[in-house]
């Protein structure tokens, strides 16, 4: 199988995209550590079972930590290493969508929170996992979760768009810094992905936030979003997982510093 012998770590694994990626990686032969906040322990346990159902032979464990806390990340990573080995296939997926508000009304504290989780958190996990690989001289691959929000400037999402643009910059520099050590760093930028919590939340909050760009009810906003996509549908979590799995695999061995847009042709 494509990921035989690999050790994968997925942050934000209790969410739709994280779970889909973890299950795909386990099904393809990887040992998998599913990770999220301590408050998501019950949801993580269900993801562990889903991974084992996809591949009963897979080694699967879970770890809980706050991605913004370097000490918490280091301690959890040490436990993962003891249980299944040093992760050499990392999906750096944990994130926070933030509030929805016009730029001039956006809450400063929430802006900071979005940057802390989506940028600092990605950096902290990337640094910890890269250092673990450097310590044993092993190559690896890291995929950071960016977003089409970084490229398209969606209304009412100034904090999220800024954070995901920063992830793209972080990815480029980390890719250059780690290339001599054979550690590849890439990013994925999904657009409208559903069904699920993030899709519902985005549609509901855009409908509730006055603007010239969207209507004021769920059905209207959902249709307006889909109308922006040339393929005229939202993408699925499994379609994102397929791209993540590709970038983490040896099939992408000559790709680093790349951002793949998973957007159905939207820009």
Instruction: Reduce the secondary structure of the chain to three states and give it as a string.
Output: CCCCCCEEEECCCCCHHHHHHHHHHHHCCCEEEEEECHHHHHHHHHHHHHHHHHCCCCCEEEEECCCCCHHHHHHHHHHHHHHHCCCCEEEECCCCCCCCECHHHCCHHHHHHHHHHHHHHHHHHHHHHHHHHHHHCCCEEEEEECCCHHHHCCCCEHHHHHHHHHHHHHHHHHHHHHHHHCEEEEEEEECCECCCHHHHHHHHHHHHCCCCCCCCCHHHHHHHHHCCCCCCCCECHHHHHHHHHHHHCHHHCCCCCCEEEECCCCC
The yes or no reply on domain 7-191+236-261 and CATH 1.10.10.10 is: no
pLDDT on residue 215: 95
Strand partners, 36: 64
Angstrom distance (rounded) from CA 126 to CA 67: 10
Angstrom distance (rounded) from CA 257 to CA 174: 8
CA 127, distance to chain mean position in Å, is 16
Asked if pLDDT for residue 1 goes beyond 90, the answer is no
**pLDDT single digits (tens) 31-85:** 999 999 999 999 999 999 999 999 999 999 999 999 999 999 999 999 999 999 9
Q: Which of 91, 96, 160, 234 is catalytic?
A: 160
Is 160 among the catalytic positions?
Answer: yes
Reported as a pLDDT band with limits 50, 70 and 90, residue 267 is: confident
Give the residue among 247, 134, 104 at the shortest CA–CA distance from 188.
Answer: 247
pLDDT on residue 23: 98
Reported as a pLDDT band with limits 50, 70 and 90, residue 159 is: very high
**pLDDT single digits (tens) 205-228:** 999 999 999 999 999 999 999 999
Asked if pLDDT for residue 9 goes beyond 90, the answer is yes
Angstrom distance (rounded) from CA 80 to CA 60: 10
Angstrom distance (rounded) from CA 63 to CA 39: 12
Show me where the domains of the chain are located. Answer: 7-191+236-261, 194-234
């Amino acid at each position: 199988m494509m990921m035989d012998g690999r050790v994968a770590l997925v942050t934000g694994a209790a969410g739709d995209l994280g779970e889909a990626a973890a299950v795909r990686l386990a099904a393809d032969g990887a040992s998998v550590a599913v990770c999220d906040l301590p408050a998501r322990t019950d949801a993580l346990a269900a993801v562990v079972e889903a991974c084992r159902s996809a591949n009963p032979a897979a080694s699967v464990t879970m770890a809980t930590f706050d991605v913004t806390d370097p000490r918490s990340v280091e301690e959890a990573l040490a436990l993962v290493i003891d249980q299944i080995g040093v992760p050499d296939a990392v999906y750096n997926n944990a994130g926070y969508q933030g509030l929805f508000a016009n730029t001039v009304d956006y809450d400063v504290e929430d802006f900071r929170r979005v940057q802390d989780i989506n940028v600092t958190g990605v950096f902290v996990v990337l640094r910890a996992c890269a250092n673990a690989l450097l310590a044993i001289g092993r190559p690896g691959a890291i995929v950071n979760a960016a977003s089409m929000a970084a490229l398209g400037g969606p209304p009412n999402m100034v904090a999220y768009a800024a954070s995901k643009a920063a992830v793209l910059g972080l990815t480029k520099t980390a890719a250059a810094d780690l290339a001599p050590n054979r550690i590849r760093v890439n990013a994925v930028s999904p657009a409208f992905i559903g069904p699920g919590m993030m899709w519902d939340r985005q549609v509901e909050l855009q409908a509730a936030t006055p603007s010239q760009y969207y209507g004021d009810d769920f059905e209207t906003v959902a249709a307006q979003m889909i109308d922006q996509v040339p393929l005229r549908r939202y993408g699925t979590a499994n379609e994102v997982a397929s791209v993540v799995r590709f970038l983490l695999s040896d099939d992408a061995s000559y790709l680093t510093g790349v951002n793949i847009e998973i957007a159905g042709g939207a820009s």
